Structure 1
Amino acid sequence: MAVKDRDRFSTATRIRLIGEQTAARVYRSQTKRQARRSRLTGRAALLALVLCSLVVALAYPMRQYVSQRAEIADQQREQDETRRRVERLRDLKARWQDDAYAEQEIRRRLHHVMPGETGYIVIDPAGAGTTRGDLRAADRPWYANVWDGVDKADAASQ
């Protein structure tokens, strides 16, 4: 028994036992890590596949949604602009239905003078040297101004 005890407590035996225990621990930890790593890798691959398929499946509808929202915003902006324009035109129509406003505009635009009134045209001294082809509205007859107004209105509608 003394030989076995001595053999059991020898340095070589102890080192061999420590090496075997260490190797067993390393092997166990490696197998656990490999098992955990292989399980996580399979799960991660499946998760990545599911996420990629969701991204691919949702990419086109999301693009359509974003483009439709932009189109809706453009249409609403256009609608607001059209509403404001209609409101301005209604105001202008209401003003033209007022006889006083119509008379004022006729006098201003056509240089119309009521019977019994005397019309005056004030010539600007700075513009006194204008040539015959460069006449201002005040220097031309009223019918030329009316015709120019018709031409301008026709050009604006085109």
Structure 2
Amino acid sequence: MGLKISTDEDENFLFERVVKHLQSSYGYSLEDAERLVSRYYEKFTDQNYCDKYDIMAQTMDFFGHIESRGMADRVHFYEGLKHEPDEAAFIEWQQKMGFDLKCVRWGGGGGGGGWLNGCFILSVSAFRSLRAVYISCFSVCQKPETV
């Protein structure tokens, strides 16, 4: 593939798999899928762009925990469907589409996460601020899976 969005080969490999998922799950051509991935990566790794939406810039740690299929869903939602960054809308879309949302313990800087009132909470260090949307996302799960 011609996709080279990073100097990190692991990151490139993950996003090559994202491109394949975009093609098989959403019917994008190779060129369109690569274009969408490049745009997503450029935006969501740029702290200035993310600051406009009060979100944390995404890193390989984030991408790796979401994995290629989950990242394909994100790329399709934000770039293919042209939604502004809004995690609540993304989660609602996932639920409407019938996606199996899984609880994941994500360390993000050594902080980890834990259960609170039946909801799995991600570490504060993983995000700029802990918002109710992250709580609601993980409350749909029965038990967390550790990665």
- Report the TM range for the smaller structure's normalisation: under 0.3
TM-score by length of 1: 0.19
**Structure of higher CA gyration radius:** 1
Higher helix content, 1 or 2: 1
Higher strand content, 1 or 2: 2
Indicate the structure whose relative CO is greater, using CA pairs within 8 Å and at least 6 residues apart.
2
